[in-house]
């Protein structure tokens, strides 16, 4: 029953502003309360291969220096610490090869001069491929 004649009713409209405000509050709450987990490792299956072991070991010269400064070339101790004896032993171990690598295994407590002596002897013997071995903890 329309008691108010001649008066038109306004159309009903839906106000979206409060709805958007509520949705933004919910999104902010979800973003703040969400935890992101990171995986520190990947689980992967690596391919496998079978290969023949090399018949010939690579020819290298291992020079060991103890904490006391005693030299050993390929596990053969040197009679003295002179530069000439180190050069002679390196040339003997190289057997005329010039591209053979020299691996220096020096004790952490040996003198720095002992390592320098091996490097200088290698240079004078014509062996320029020098590397150092380290221990991984």
- Is the pLDDT higher at 8 or at 64? 64
Global model pTM greater than 0.75: no
**CATH classification of the domain holding 97:** 3.30.420
Strand order in the sheet with 102-106: 76-77, 71-73, 61-65, 102-106, 130-132
In a domain, 81, yes or no: yes
In a domain, 42, yes or no: no
What range defines the domain where residue 128 resides?
73-132
- Extract the tokens encoding 56: 């010939």
The 10s digit of each residue's pLDDT in 71-119 is 999 988 998 889 999 999 999 999 888 889 999 998 888 888 999 999 9
The 10s digit of each residue's pLDDT in 21-44 is 999 999 999 888 887 666 555 566
């Amino acid at each position: 029953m329309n008691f108010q004649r001649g008066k038109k009713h306004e159309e009903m409209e839906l106000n979206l502003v409060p709805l958007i405000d509520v949705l933004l509050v919910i999104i902010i709450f979800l973003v703040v309360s969400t935890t992101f987990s990171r995986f520190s490792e990947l689980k992967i299956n690596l391919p496998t291969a079978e290969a023949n072991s090399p018949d010939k070991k690579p020819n290298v010269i291992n020079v060991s220096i103890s904490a006391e400064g005693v030299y050993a070339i390929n596990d053969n101790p040197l009679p003295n610490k002179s530069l000439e004896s180190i050069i002679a032993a390196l040339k003997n171990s190289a057997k005329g090869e010039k591209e053979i690598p020299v691996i220096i295994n020096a004790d952490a407590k040996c003198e720095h001069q002992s390592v320098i002596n091996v490097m200088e002897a290698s240079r004078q013997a014509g062996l320029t491929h020098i590397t150092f071995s380290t221990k991984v903890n």
